[in-house]
């Protein structure tokens, strides 16, 4: 599988990553999780994105730590902290040690601030992260859900003080959610950062498996999360999806090809993080990640979703 670098770090990841937020949430037994992870490894996925709050008591990290074993050296583990514990120095250090223990590893490849912490100066967080990098416990750092102003402030502090700097932003980005194009994407390009887009298929709405006027299929992400469903399932998005479906029928492409191919055509995208609950979904994601869309396809998708 093709690989992209994370910012200017030299750390490379597969262009399709596995989002591990289902582990410990929708999936509670290790056997099916192991099947998903092993299929991902076998098909060339190297990026596994998780967080200390995915699954009760860090279950997602715990499952990954148990499954990787000797293959730890073959993967890039990206995890996050700060969702509930804040980003103070004490919080950063405590969270890192807990994640390392659950993941059964000596280092985290990409350690990301999950959300901005309004109670802690970003300099304090960056100094703590820099210490973890110098100790060899973290290779690179990134941020998630930061505003462009917040990212720029962090990058300026890192540059001024000679601290490790963010190489990635992880934010929602898809054919249905394009807000970050206005300010965040240009800022990232200016600072040579790369993007790890989450919800690339809008919690499954861009896969084509939902039908207007019919109940949401049981077991799907949107059926199990009323919060996500209320954000995504609306008349505006239905109109876009139906236009995409019509274009897919004319072009002989799948909706998944469009969702992945469009994101990977953006120079700022390093890897598309997509969740999966079955090995078959991993296979579908990898095929979509290999889709080479034409310039005409990209232009058409931009017109439909702009």
- Geometric angle at alpha carbon 220, from 216 and 223, rounded to 5°: 45
> Is pLDDT larger for residue 226 or for residue 63?
63
**Residue 22 predicted with pLDDT over 60:** yes
**Across 78-88, average pLDDT:** 95
- At 261 the pLDDT is 97
* Mean predicted lDDT score pLDDT of the chain: 94
The answer to whether residue 93 is domain-embedded is yes
| End-to-end Cα separation, the chain, in angstroms | 30
Question: Higher model confidence: residue 212 or residue 86?
Answer: 86
Residues 98-132 pLDDT 10s: 999 999 999 999 999 999 999 999 999 999 999 99
Does residue 108 lie in a domain region? yes
Q: What is the pLDDT of residue 193?
A: 98
- CATH number for the domain harbouring residue 173: 3.20.20.100
Does 177 reside within a domain? yes
Say how far apart CA 26 and CA 255 lie, in whole Å. 24
Distance separating alpha carbons of residues 113 and 16, to the nearest angstrom: 21
DSSP letters spanning 273-284 = EEE-SSHHHHHH
**What is the helix (H) or strand (E) element at residue 196, kind and residue range?**
strand 194-198
| Number of folded domains that form the chain | 1
Is residue 224 scored above 60 in pLDDT? no
Cα–Cα distance for residue pair 19/242, rounded to 1 Å: 27
54: tokens are 């995915």
Picking from 225, 291, 210, 205, the residue whose alpha carbon sits closest to that of residue 254 is 291
In this prediction, residue 73 has a pLDDT band, given cuts at 50, 70 and 90, of very high
Q: Are strands 166-172 and 138-144 parallel, antiparallel or unpaired?
A: parallel
Is the pLDDT assigned to residue 225 strictly greater than 60?
Answer: no
The model's pLDDT over 2-21, given as tens digits with 9 standing for 90+, comes to 999 999 999 999 999 999 99
Q: What is the pTM of this model?
A: 0.94
187 inside domain: yes
What does residue 12 show for φ and ψ, rounded to 5 degrees?
A: -105, 150
Confidence (pLDDT) at 215: 73
For residue 225, tell me if it sits in a domain.
Answer: no
Residues recognised as catalytic: 54
| pLDDT for residue 226 | 53
Per-residue pLDDT band at 94 (split at 50, 70, 90) = very high
Q: State residue 272 phi and psi, 5-degree precision.
A: -95, 115
Residue 262 region by backbone torsions, left for phi larger than 0, else alpha for psi between -120 and 50, else beta: alpha
Residue 86: give the domain boundaries.
Answer: 3-205+256-293
Least-confidence region, from 60-74, 196-210, 217-231, 275-289: 217-231
Residue 24 is encoded by which pair of tokens?
Answer: 């410990």
Residue 285 lies in a domain: yes
**In a domain? residue 21:** yes
What span, in angstroms and rounded, lies between the C-alpha atoms of 75 and 60?
16
**Contact criterion met (CB below 8 Å) for 129 and 111:** yes
Residue 229 pLDDT more than 70? no
Give the tens place of pLDDT for each residue, 161-176.
999 999 999 999 999 9
In this prediction, residue 87 carries a pLDDT of: 98
Percent of the chain beyond pLDDT 70?
95
Indicate whether 242 belongs to any domain. no
């Amino acid at each position: 599988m093709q690989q992209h670098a994370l910012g200017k770090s030299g750390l490379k990841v597969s262009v399709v990553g596995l989002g591990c937020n289902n582990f410990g949430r929708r999936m509670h037994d290790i056997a099916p999780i192991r099947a998903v992870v092993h299929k991902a490894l076998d098909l060339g996925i190297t990026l596994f994105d998780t967080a200390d709050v995915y699954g009760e008591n860090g279950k997602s990290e715990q499952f990954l730590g148990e499954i990787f074993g000797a293959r730890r050296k073959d993967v890039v583990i990206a995890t996050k902290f700060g969702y509930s514990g804040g980003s103070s120095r004490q919080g950063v250090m405590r969270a890192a040690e807990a994640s390392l223990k659950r993941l059964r590893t000596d280092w985290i490849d990409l350690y990301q601030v999950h959300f901005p912490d309004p109670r802690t100066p970003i300099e304090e967080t960056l100094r703590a992260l820099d210490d973890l990098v110098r100790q060899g416990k973290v290779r690179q750092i990134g941020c998630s859900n930061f505003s462009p102003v917040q990212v720029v402030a962090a990058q300026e502090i890192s540059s001024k003080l000679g601290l490790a700097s963010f190489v990635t932003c992880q934010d929602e980005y898809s054919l249905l959610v394009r807000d970050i194009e206005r300010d965040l994407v240009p800022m990232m390009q200016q600072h040579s950062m790369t993007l790890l887009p989450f919800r690339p298929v809008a919690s499954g709405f861009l896969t084509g498996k939902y039908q207007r006027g019919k109940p949401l299929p049981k077991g799907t992400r949107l059926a199990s999360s009323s919060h996500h469903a209320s954000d995504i399932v609306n008349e505006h998005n239905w109109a876009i999806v139906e236009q995409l479906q019509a274009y897919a029928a004319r072009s002989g492409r799948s909706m998944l090809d469009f969702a992945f191919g469009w994101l990977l055509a953006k120079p700022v995208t390093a890897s598309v993080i997509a969740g999966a609950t079955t090995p078959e979904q991993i296979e579908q994601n990898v095929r979509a990640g290999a889709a080479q869309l034409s310039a005409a396809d990209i232009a058409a998708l931009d017109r439909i979703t702009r």
